Structure 1
Amino acid sequence: MIIITGAAGFISSCLVQKLNDEGYYDLILVDDFSDEKQNKNFEGKRFSKLVDRSEFIPWLTANHLHVQFVFHLGARTDTTEFDYALLNELNLEYSKDVWNCCVEFGLPLIYASSAATYGLGENGYEDDESKINLLKPLNPYGESKNEFDKWALQQERKPYFWAGLKFFNVYGPNEYHKGRMASVIFHTYNQIRDTGKMKLFKSHRPDFNDGEQMRDFVFVKDVTEVLYFLMHHRKDAGIYNLGSGKARTFYDLAAATFKATGKEPDISFIPTPEDIRDKYQYFTEAKMDKLHSIGYHKPFHTLEEGVHDYVTNYLIPNKYL
């Protein structure tokens, strides 16, 4: 059996599809399944059992002999969440419980970290474990992820294989339920569909023109390829970046989305909301040398390729992966 937490969510549900495509069907899906709007993310997929998040640790304790791998991708991912107690419970303490079970039962583990741990990038975007204590996340979500990374590295007892993946700006099918936290591609497509136009945030820094703020956008299909690779690799444990390795502008993203819909770009700019303006990242770019050094060499989709696939095969036909 393979366990996937956060299975009703975005990346996890795409991983379920990837595993199905590769012939893996004995999957245990873990989540809070009370959110009906997410549950269609695993409709039509093959799996063995749904386990509620609150019951997972006792379930794993009772069934660990049958488990081959654990993907712990579930988390509270809202970067505007300021309930520290909730983030501590779901992103830190729960992850410690999963880690400790994997240690006790000899199970390999991949867990989701985040590029939000890098903050404004004062210390760069290199997945150098010696620099993790120096990082300054910009929000409580990023802090919770960084705290777990630090905790994991401090443990004397670790799973025989483990990897913490710092996801950059992931986009693709099955993210419709994320609201404000969904990718800019998702919001761009909806604005174009509804108004024929797109509004991007103005720059509030003199060194960046409007629309030229840059992010490392990574297609979810590339993310699941890396997850699948690491499931088989099972060595070279540690913390890894997972992005495309190439920063692109928001203007490029919007233009690619217009092109995928067959429309001419009509892009304007609005002020960045004040509640996020002071903590807004103007540049992120994953350094991917570490992942490449352990043997992962598949090419990533370009922004244009990924946007075209997402828009034409999923958003326009209103399909899910």
Structure 2
Amino acid sequence: MIIVTGATGFIGSCLISRLNQENFNAIIAVDDFSREDKLANLEGKRILERVDREEFFDWLDDNYHEIEFLFHIGARTDTTEFDRSIFEHLNVEYSKKIWQKCIDYQIPLVYASSAATYGLGELGYDDNESLIPQLKPLNPYGDSKNEFDKWVLEQEKHPFFWAGLKFFNVYGPNEYHKNRMASVIYHAFCQINQKGSMKLFRSHHPNFADGEQMRDFIYVKDVVEVCVFLMHHRRNSGIYNLGSGKARTFLDLANNTFLAMGITPQIEFIDTPEDIRDKYQYYTQASMSKLRSIGYTQPFQSLETGIEDYVKNYLIPGNTL
């Protein structure tokens, strides 16, 4: 059996699809299944059992001897949520319990961290673990992910294999339920589909022209390929960046979305809201040398190919992965 937490969510459901492709069909899907708006993400997938996240640890105590691997993808990811108790429960304490169970039962573990831990990137975007205690995230979500990363590095006992993945700007099918937290590509498609045009934030930084703000966008299909690689690899435990390794502009993103939809670009620039203006990231780019150094050789899809696949094969026809 393979456990996937956050199973109905964006990345978790795409990971289950990828595991099914390799004929891993004894999937234990862990999540809060009361969110009916996400259940479509599990349609057509081969899953052995669904376990509510609050009942999961009791279930694991009874079934640990059958577990081959655990992917802890589930988390509260809303960067606009400021109730720290929610993140403390779901992102920190819950993750600590999973870590301890993986030690007790010798289960290898991959868990989701986030590039939100890097804050404004004052120290760069290098996944050198010695820098993690110095990072300054910009919101409670980023804090919660960094707190768990720091806690992991302080532990004397570890699962026999573990990896934390700092996801950068992930986009792709199955994210429709994320509302404001969905990728800019998803929002661009929806705006263009409704109005034939889209809005981007104006730059308020002297070093960046409007639309030239840059982010490291990574297609979800690349994310799950790395997860499967680590499941098979099971060596070189540690915390790793997971981006494409190449920063691209929001204009690149917008123009490629228009192109994939067959529509002439019409872009309007609007002021970045004042409540997030001082915390706005103008540049992110993952250093990917650490993951490459342990033998991951597959190329990451370009923004062009990722957007084309996402728009033409999922967004336009309304498909899930």
**Shorter-chain TM-score above 0.5:** yes
**Inter-partner Cα distance in structure 2 for 1:218 and 1:275:** 27
Where do residues 1-321 of structure 1 align in structure 2 (5 Å cutoff)?
1-321=1-321
Q: Which amino acid letter does the alignment assign opposite residue 285 of structure 2? A: E
Cα deviation 1:145-187 (Å, max 9, x = unaligned): 0000000000001000000000000000000000000000000
**Inter-partner Cα distance in structure 1 for 2:81 and 2:36:** 21
What secondary structure, in the 3-state scheme, does the structure 1 residue paired with 2:55 have? helix
The count of residues paired between Structure 1 and Structure 2 equals: 321
Cα deviation 1:253-305 (Å, max 9, x = unaligned): 00000000011111110011122111111100000000000000101100000
Cα deviation 1:3-37 (Å, max 9, x = unaligned): 00000000000000000111110000000000000
What secondary structure, in the 3-state scheme, does the structure 2 residue paired with 1:221 have? helix
**Inter-partner Cα distance in structure 2 for 1:276 and 1:52:** 35
Cα deviation 1:76-116 (Å, max 9, x = unaligned): 00011101011000000000000000001001000000000
Q: Name structure 2 gaps, 5 residues minimum.
A: none
What secondary structure, in the 3-state scheme, does the structure 1 residue paired with 2:70 have? strand
**Inter-partner Cα distance in structure 1 for 2:320 and 2:118:** 31
Q: What is the CA-CA distance between 1:197 and the residue it aligns to?
A: 0.2
Q: What is the CA-CA distance between 1:222 and the residue it aligns to?
A: 0.3
**Inter-partner Cα distance in structure 2 for 1:214 and 1:58:** 44
Once superposed, which parts of structure 1, at least 4 consecutive aligned residues long, lie more than 4 Å away? none
Q: Which amino acid letter does the alignment assign opposite residue 121 of structure 1? A: G
**Inter-partner Cα distance in structure 1 for 2:122 and 2:214:** 15
What secondary structure, in the 3-state scheme, does the structure 1 residue paired with 2:54 have? helix
**Inter-partner Cα distance in structure 2 for 1:278 and 1:53:** 36
Q: TM-score, normalised by structure 2?
A: 1.00
What secondary structure, in the 3-state scheme, does the structure 2 residue paired with 1:50 have? strand
Q: Name structure 1 gaps, 5 residues minimum.
A: none
Cα deviation 1:35-75 (Å, max 9, x = unaligned): 00001100110010000000001111111000000000000
**Inter-partner Cα distance in structure 1 for 2:144 and 2:98:** 15
**Inter-partner Cα distance in structure 2 for 1:259 and 1:39:** 31
RMSD of the TM alignment (CA)?
A: 0.4
What secondary structure, in the 3-state scheme, does the structure 2 residue paired with 1:231 have? helix
Q: TM-score, normalised by structure 1?
A: 1.00
What secondary structure, in the 3-state scheme, does the structure 2 residue paired with 1:103 have? helix
**Inter-partner Cα distance in structure 2 for 1:211 and 1:132:** 30
**Inter-partner Cα distance in structure 1 for 2:62 and 2:204:** 54
**Inter-partner Cα distance in structure 2 for 1:251 and 1:187:** 14
Q: Which amino acid letter does the alignment assign opposite residue 175 of structure 1? A: E
**Inter-partner Cα distance in structure 2 for 1:122 and 1:261:** 37
Cα deviation 1:182-218 (Å, max 9, x = unaligned): 0000000001000000100001111111101100000
**Inter-partner Cα distance in structure 1 for 2:184 and 2:231:** 29
